[in-house]
Amino acid sequence: MIYAFPKTKFTEENSGCEQLEHIFSEVLEIINDYAVEEAMDLYHSLETFFHILATNGVNVDAVQQRVFEKNRNRGYYKTGE
């Protein structure tokens, strides 16, 4: 998986559940503020969650590929992508 952001300290400090709680707080900030910066914070928090999963043995690349294939088969992507 190609990440847009470097690992944060929370990769080492947070459990998966703690990071999910943080992700939820970012979603609430987007709902309340409707700000692009908050959406980018959410994206970064999700990447941190994927780093945490990888640290715990999840093959995030394989999961990403399965989701890509599933959504491609559903026709979610433009033709040729």
Cα–Cα dist 28/34, whole Å: 9
Examine residue 80 and state whether it is found in any structural domain, yes or no: no
Contact (CB, 8 A) for 53 and 11:
no
Examine residue 40 and state whether it is found in any structural domain, yes or no: yes
Examine residue 50 and state whether it is found in any structural domain, yes or no: yes
Note the pTM of the prediction, 2 decimals. 0.88
Lookup result for tokens 């999961």: 63
CA dihedral 71, 75, 80, 81 (to 10 degrees): -30
CA distances from 7 to 41, 68, 80 (A): 13, 23, 32
Q: How many separate domains does the chain show?
A: 1
Examine residue 81 and state whether it is found in any structural domain, yes or no: no
Report the sign of the C-alpha dihedral through residues 63, 4, 51, 43, in that order.
Answer: negative
Examine residue 59 and state whether it is found in any structural domain, yes or no: yes
pLDDT digits (tens, 9 = 90+) for 11-45: 999 999 999 999 999 999 999 998 899 999 999 99
Residue 1 predicted with pLDDT over 70: yes
